[in-house]
C-alpha cells in the first residue's frame, strides 16, 4: 500500500477516515461535491481541468496495484485520471507525460502535499501544485491548487 509506506510512522497519526481509505487493500471509492475555479480558462482546457462551478458532483475511485495506485477523479462529466507511485521519499503523480513530485506531511488533522518539481517528460515545468486533505472519523475535505490553471475544494465521504 502506497500511503502507509510513504508516510511510515506518521500514517498512524492520520484521522480514521483517511487511514482506512488509504489502507484498503483493493483501493476505495468516495463521493461528494466540489467547487472548481479556473485561473486561466485556456490552460485549464488544455490540461483537461474541469470547468469552474459550484456544487459539482465529485466521485473518486482509487485502484491499487501493489505500491502503485490509479486515481480516477470525476467532476461532473470531466474525468481526471492519474497514476501514483513512490519515487525515493516522494510521491510521484503522473498524468500522461506530466509528472509531479510531492513531499507529503501528515498529522492528526490530515495531509499536506508540497510539490517539489514538475516536468513534461524530462522538461521542467514552471508551476506548483499544493494540496491539503483534512479528515475526521468519517469524511475528509480537499483543497487543491494547480499552478496557473485553477483550484478545487471539496468534501468527500467513503462510498460502497
E strand or H helix that includes residue 120: strand 110-120
What's the whole-number mean pLDDT along residues 85-110? 97
- Higher-pLDDT residue of 18 and 46 is 18
Mean pLDDT, residues 133-160: 96
Contact call for residues 19 and 11 (beta carbons, < 8 A): yes
Determine the pLDDT at residue 5.
Answer: 94
Picking from 11-15, 23-27, 48-52, 64-68, which range would have the lowest pLDDT averaged per residue?
A: 64-68
Q: Reply yes or no on whether the pLDDT at 127 is more than 90.
A: no
**Residue 36 has which C-alpha cell?**
472548481
**If you ran DSSP here, which 8-state letter would residue 141 be given?**
E
**Around 25, how many Cα atoms within 13 Å sit in the side-chain half-sphere?**
0
- Average pLDDT rounded to a whole number, residues 19-25: 95
Give the pLDDT confidence score for residue 136 in this predicted structure. 97
What pLDDT does 66 receive?
A: 80
Query: Cα angle vertex 65, ends 12, 33, to 5°?
Result: 65
Model confidence at 47, pLDDT cuts 50, 70, 90, reads: confident
- For residue 151, give the C-alpha cell: 483550484
Amino acid at each position: 500500500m502506497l500511503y502507509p509506506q510513504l508516510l511510515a510512522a506518521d500514517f498512524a497519526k492520520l484521522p480514521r477516515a483517511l487511514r482506512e481509505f488509504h489502507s484498503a487493500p483493493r483501493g476505495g471509492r468516495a463521493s461528494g461535491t466540489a467547487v472548481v475555479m479556473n485561473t486561466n480558462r485556456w490552460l485549464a482546457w488544455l490540461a483537461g481541468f474541469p470547468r469552474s462551478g459550484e456544487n459539482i458532483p465529485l466521485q473518486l475511485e482509487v485502484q491499487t496495484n501493489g505500491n502503485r495506485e490509479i486515481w480516477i477523479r470525476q467532476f461532473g462529466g470531466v474525468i481526471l485520471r492519474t497514476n501514483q507511485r513512490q519515487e525515493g521519499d516522494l510521491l510521484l503523480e503522473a498524468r500522461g507525460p506530466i509528472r509531479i513530485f510531492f513531499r507529503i506531511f501528515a498529522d492528526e488533522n490530515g495531509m499536506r502535499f508540497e510539490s517539489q518539481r514538475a516536468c513534461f517528460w524530462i522538461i521542467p515545468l514552471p508551476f506548483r501544485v499544493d494540496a491539503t486533505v483534512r479528515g475526521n472519523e468519517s469524511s475528509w475535505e480537499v483543497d487543491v491548487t494547480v499552478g496557473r490553471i485553477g483550484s478545487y475544494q471539496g468534501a468527500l465521504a467513503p462510498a460502497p
